[in-house]
A and B are shown apart, each in its own frame.
Chain A
Amino acid sequence: MPLPRWFHILGSPPHAYRLAEVCRPWAGWLALLLLVGGTFAGLVLAPPDYQMGDSFRIIYVHVPAAYLGTRLYLLLAVAAAIGFIWRIKLAHAVAASVAPLGAAFVIVAMATGAIWGKPMWGTYWQWGDARLVSWLVQLFLYVGYMALHASFDDRDKADRVSAILAVVGIVNVPIIYYSVEWWTTLHQGPTIMKFDRPSIKDDMLIPLLMMIAGFVVCFVWLLLNRLQGEIVERERDARWLQQLATEPGK
């Protein structure tokens, strides 16, 4: 299947590197602004929940991290598949950059969820809960991708073999999403993503949206850093990179 021309231009490492160089500082400052503002709004301005009291404020770090924890896996799998099918090196570089970040957000989601579970459910963890266990599987998929990728000396082979794992692991994403509906145990259903109206008041919702935006932009900043690092590693013999590396002030 042929790809449009813009895809090849965007997929060229020098172009992607320079684009990342331009966007990176903007993403960094915007992420900092949103995260500081969102944290202040979530901890100070939002009223306490009538049922959960102030413990509900954990939502402002738990939900954004969980949101990214699953979405990033889709990004990882799609990037790996594009790299596998059309042999685009940059797509593999994106996949390799996303994996450790996805793992980090899953760790935040699981740790804050466990801390929240203690006062609300009386336990940090329950093996019988499908939502909790499918998250553990998600963490293993990110870590498995990284471990498999690191186990090959030949980078092309590492990219292609771990891409297969990434694509197969997609089956876990709907399991996480529907686990709260298929097996009703500890974890509650979704709060904002309901199809009618979100079951949350505006003064609680706005800080949450700020935090989700802050986490997403923060991820973009992290990804751009890692992607540039990957491109440099992969293109070290290319003339454009050697010229760029010797430019002063880089």
Chain B
Amino acid sequence: MTDFFAMGGYAAYVWSAYGITLLVLVVSAWTARRRRLDALERVRQMLLQQSPRRQATVRTME
């Protein structure tokens, strides 16, 4: 097991390369997912702000 982590003397290089890759992938995944959910949330907020006004116009028309 210690041998595995030592990577034949290249531990610093191998683990930092894999660490950077993991970091970039996790950050990319988080931001990509966040952008999708935030965009949907903004549409919902927009609709919520519009709906009282819409109801108000309907009422005045009645």
Contacts and interface: CB of A to CB of B under 8 A. Distances in A.
Is this pair of chains taken from one and the same complex? yes
Interface of A: 35, 39, 43-44, 48, 53-55, 57-58, 61-62, 65, 100-101, 104, 107-108, 111-112, 115-116, 118-119, 218, 221-222, 225-226, 228-230, 232-233, 236, 241-242, 245-246, 250
B24 interface: yes
Nearest to A111: B20
Given A226-B35, A226-B36, A229-B35, A246 B47 contact: yes
A229 B33 CA distance: 8
Given A61-B17, A108-B21, 16 more contacts: A43-B18, A53-B10, A55-B10, A55-B13, A57-B7, A62-B17, A100-B31, A108-B24, A218-B25, A218-B29, A222-B29, A225-B33, A226-B36, A229-B35, A236-B43, A242-B47
A108 B31 CA distance: 16
Nearest to A234: B39
B14 to A, nearest CB: 5
Nearest to B32: A225
Given A115-B17, A218-B25, A232 B36 contact: yes
Contacts of A228: 36, 39
Nearest to A24: B36
A26 B32 CA distance: 16
Contacts of B14: 43, 54-55, 57-58
A106 B35 CA distance: 21
A111 B28 contact: no
Contacts of A118: 13
A232 B39 contact: yes
9 contacts: A35-B25, A54-B10, A55-B8, A108-B24, A116-B17, A232-B40, A236-B42, A242-B43, A245-B44
B57 interface: no
B18 to A, nearest CB: 6
B7 A61 contact: no
Contacts of A242: 43, 47
B46 interface: yes
Contacts of B9: 53-54
A6 B43 CA distance: 29
